[in-house]
């Protein structure tokens, strides 16, 4: 039977200090989002407008249904990167989920205000991630193309490898073969290898006057074969629609091309959805606003994960699995906006266990650490959710697996491997939210980026690293001091440690992870329910759940 989770909490000094800190952090993040949304800046935007073009965000706003929200993904892609080239806000490309004529779709739109929409290495990674989301969730995908192609100064980091530029066309082919609809609108430049992306889509449109598509532009044609021609005569709308037939239709402006896309999406056959259970949603009994006060600023301090769940689950109701066993990992079922979900969450409170101890004797366990019993419980629970066809939500705040002679003798490696195995082989949709720490193999066991979740989100409190900052910094310091092979003064040691800690802190910031697309988006904790529900709805477009299989497990 479900139980109602605790939601009563004292708004003491610590609570208020936590809330004030995270509110301020969210204000900073939102200010940074607004700056990213400016793309290449006002001057570049005016140049676009002067050509009669809509800006990338304006195109998306016109494309999605009125009154709906574009769930942007990868906003912080390339954050703090490519500074020697002036930066690449949002990696020069917008991507996310948008409802078009009532259908959930993936949308990819080049931002031509950023280096003429050129592809940086992170642009490529972001487009591939969007195509992966479309493929895994069987969502139609719309490309709004306006790109100068590969950013040539970095061509060696984007052109030849497996997950580089050519992989986008591989996904084009795979999506089409799977019957997942793709439509592209050429609204500006589309050149060289990039020309394959719209033409390998199921339908391609072009905007007259601004849209051009060719394998080589006028300058290269002149250099290669001596032919004198301008870009419109070479590959403009009339040439590629009326003469070559490469593109299907041409339109006088962005707005009319977008309206045509909306009509095409509206004609699609309605998909058969996965049979994930959903009932009428209910609000949590606990106020989601209080999430900001519960989360401690000091990421080493414990808090009660049940208090978080009480503000995330419908009615604050939770049916726990093995509640008195493996208590550093909380497993159980609840609902989010009516959707049934299986929860796997790290418990940060210090708990006790009694297995193998004398009656009345208690042993302390460290919160946020996965012990053998917790790993065993988690593996069984993930198997159970696959058996029952219930999507999984991982809430990560993990410092790793327990170490030491006692844990080794209990078989921590074997039990940890069991959990990693079933998470890797899970076939129901997985969604991961990085709530706090995500260290070492704990990241893997709790469905980190390498483990195939449909969506990854991070709270501003998230911290992803091979180990905690203090431990890592002191380990690196010891290695550097050993390599120097000479006496180092205490003052020099302190300076070196401070430098290492500063670098490590920067790398543990959630924006660092988001810049590299280790997470899809940084979200406001108070919006978690809405974002998770939207993600499950997108994942439900997978009509059938394949059979759950796993390899050899040591027991």
For residue range 504-543, what is the model confidence (pLDDT) as tens digits?
677 889 999 999 999 999 999 999 999 999 999 999 998 8
Q: Does the pLDDT value for residue 357 go beyond 90?
A: no
Report whether 242 contacts 299 (CB < 8 A): no
Checking 82-85 for CB contacts under 8 A at 24+ apart, the result is 82/120, 82/122, 82/154, 85/115, 85/151, 85/153
pLDDT at 413: 85
Q: Is the dihedral of CA 198, 104, 462, 79 positive or negative?
A: positive
Distance from the Cα of residue 74 to its chain's centroid? 7
Tokens standing for 224?
A: 């290669």
Report whether 399 contacts 442 (CB < 8 A): yes
For residue range 252-265, what is the model confidence (pLDDT) as tens digits?
999 999 999 999 99
Confidence of residue 458 (pLDDT cuts 50, 70, 90): very high
> What integer is the mean pLDDT of 78-103?
96
Task: For 155, list phi and psi in degrees, rounded to 5.
Answer: -60, -30
**Distance between CA atoms of residues 555 and 537, nearest Å:** 36
Task: For 106, list phi and psi in degrees, rounded to 5.
Answer: -90, 135
Report whether 105 contacts 97 (CB < 8 A): yes
pLDDT at 473: 59
DSSP H/E element including 365: strand 363-365
Phi-psi region of 294 (alpha: psi -120 to 50; beta: other; left: phi over 0): alpha
> What integer is the mean pLDDT of 169-189?
96
**Distance between CA atoms of residues 296 and 425, nearest Å:** 34
Q: Does the pLDDT value for residue 362 go beyond 60?
A: no
**Distance between CA atoms of residues 40 and 73, nearest Å:** 19
Distance between the two ends of the chain, CA-based, in angstroms? Answer: 29
Task: For 423, list phi and psi in degrees, rounded to 5.
Answer: -65, -40
Report whether 353 contacts 38 (CB < 8 A): no
pLDDT at 474: 64
Q: Tally Cβ neighbours within 10 Å of residue 30.
A: 11
pLDDT at 485: 60
The overall average pLDDT reported for the chain is 91
pLDDT at 6: 86
For residue range 35-87, what is the model confidence (pLDDT) as tens digits?
999 999 999 999 999 999 999 999 999 999 999 999 999 999 999 999 999 99
Report whether 98 contacts 64 (CB < 8 A): yes
Q: Where are the alpha helices (DSSP H) in 323-393?
A: 372-388
**Largest interatomic CA distance in the chain:** 91
Closest CA to 87 of 55, 53, 122: 122
**Distance between CA atoms of residues 516 and 107, nearest Å:** 20
Tell me, what DSSP letter sits at residue 278? B
Q: Is 295 helix (H, G, I), strand (E, B) or coil?
A: coil
Tokens standing for 500?
A: 């290492």
Q: Does the pLDDT value for residue 437 go beyond 60?
A: yes
CA-derived radius of gyration, the chain: 26
For residue range 327-339, what is the model confidence (pLDDT) as tens digits?
999 999 999 999 9
pLDDT at 67: 96
CB-based burial label for 362 (10 Å; 0-12, 13-18, 19+): exposed
pTM score: 0.93
For residue range 383-436, what is the model confidence (pLDDT) as tens digits?
999 999 999 999 999 988 888 888 888 788 888 899 999 999 999 999 999 999
pLDDT at 361: 45
- What does 149-190 look like in DSSP terms, one character per residue? -B-GGGGGGTSSSTTSTHHHHHHHHHHHHTT--EEEEEEEEE
- Residue count (the chain): 555
Calculate ∠ Cα 6-9-10, nearest 5°: 160
Tell me, what DSSP letter sits at residue 325? S
Helix 121-137 vs helix 166-177: angle between axes, to the nearest 10 degrees? 10
DSSP H/E element including 20: helix 13-37
Q: Does the pLDDT value for residue 479 go beyond 90?
A: no
Tell me, what DSSP letter sits at residue 117? G
**Distance between CA atoms of residues 332 and 322, nearest Å:** 8
> What integer is the mean pLDDT of 184-205?
92
The more confidently predicted of residues 286 and 6 is 286
Cα separations in angstroms, 354 against 358, 363, 536: 8, 7, 37
Q: Is the dihedral of CA 41, 42, 47, 53 positive or negative?
A: positive
pLDDT at 401: 87
Question: 141-155, 346-360, 448-462: which range is least confident on average?
Answer: 346-360
Look-up: residue for tokens 């061509």?
A: 155
**Distance between CA atoms of residues 246 and 149, nearest Å:** 19
Calculate ∠ Cα 316-68-462, nearest 5°: 50
Residues forming beta bridges with residue 277, ordered by sequence position: none
**Distance between CA atoms of residues 145 and 109, nearest Å:** 6
Cα separations in angstroms, 193 against 168, 228, 251, 473: 10, 22, 24, 44
């Amino acid at each position: 039977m479900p139980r109602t989770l605790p939601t009563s909490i004292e708004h003491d000094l610590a609570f208020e200090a936590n809330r004030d800190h995270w509110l301020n952090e969210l204000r900073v993040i939102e200010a940074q989002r607004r700056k990213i949304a400016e793309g290449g800046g006002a001057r570049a935007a005016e140049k676009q407008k002067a050509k009669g073009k809509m800006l990338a965000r304006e195109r998306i706003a016109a494309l999605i249904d009125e009154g709906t929200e574009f769930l942007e993904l990868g906003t912080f892609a390339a954050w703090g990167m490519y500074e020697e080239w002036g930066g690449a806000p949002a990696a020069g490309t917008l991507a996310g989920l948008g409802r078009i004529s009532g259908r959930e779709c993936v949308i990819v739109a080049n931002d031509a205000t950023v280096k003429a929409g050129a592809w940086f290495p992170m642009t490529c990674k972001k487009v591939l991630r969007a195509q992966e989301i479309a493929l895994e969730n069987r969502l139609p995908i719309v490309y709004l193309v306006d790109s100068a192609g590969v950013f040539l100064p970095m061509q060696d980091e984007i052109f030849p490898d497996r997950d580089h530029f050519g992989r986008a066309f591989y996904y084009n082919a795979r999506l089409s073969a799977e019957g997942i609809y793709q439509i592209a609108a050429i609204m500006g430049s589309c050149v060289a290898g990039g020309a394959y992306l719209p033409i390998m889509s199921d339908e391609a449109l072009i905007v007259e006057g601004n849209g051009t598509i060719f394998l080589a532009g006028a300058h290269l044609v002149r250099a290669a074969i001596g032919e004198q021609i301008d870009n419109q005569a070479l590959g403009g709308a009339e040439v590629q629609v009326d003469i070559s037939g490469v593109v299907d239709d041409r339109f006088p402006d962005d707005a009319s091309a977008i309206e045509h896309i909306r009509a095409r999406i509206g004609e699609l056959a309605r998909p058969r959805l996965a049979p994930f259970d959903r009932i009428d949603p209910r609000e949590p009994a606990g106020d989601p606003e209080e999430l900001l006060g519960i989360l401690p600023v000091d990421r080493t301090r414990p808090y009660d994960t049940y208090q978080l769940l009480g503000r995330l689950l419908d009615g604050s109701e939770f049916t726990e699995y093995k509640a008195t066993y493996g208590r550093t990992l909380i497993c159980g079922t609840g609902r989010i906006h009516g959707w049934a979900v299986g929860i796997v969450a790290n418990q940060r409170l210090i708990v006790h266990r009694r297995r193998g101890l004398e009656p009345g004797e208690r042993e302390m366990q460290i919160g946020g650490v996965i012990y053998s019993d917790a790993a065993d419980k988690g593996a069984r629970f993930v198997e159970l959710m696959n058996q029952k066809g219930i999507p999984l939500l991982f809430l990560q705040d993990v410092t790793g697996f327990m170490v030491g002679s006692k844990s080794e003798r209990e078989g921590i490696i074997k039990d940890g491997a069991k959990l990693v195995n079933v998470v890797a082989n899970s076939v129901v949709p997985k969604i991961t939210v990085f709530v706090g720490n995500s260290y070492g193999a704990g990241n893997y066991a709790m469905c980190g980026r390498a483990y195939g979740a449909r969506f990854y989100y991070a709270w501003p409190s998230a911290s992803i690293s091979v180990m905690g900052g203090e431990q890592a910094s002191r380990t690196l310091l010891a290695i550097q001091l050993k390599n120097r092979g000479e006496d180092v003064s205490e003052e020099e040691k302190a300076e070196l440690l401070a430098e290492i800690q500063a670098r490590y802190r920067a790398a543990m910031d959630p924006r660092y992870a988001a810049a590299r697309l280790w997470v899809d988006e940084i979200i406001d904790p108070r919006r978690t329910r809405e974002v998770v529900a939207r993600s499950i709805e997108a994942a439900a477009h997978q009509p059938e759940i394949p059979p759950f299989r796993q390899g050899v497990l040591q027991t």
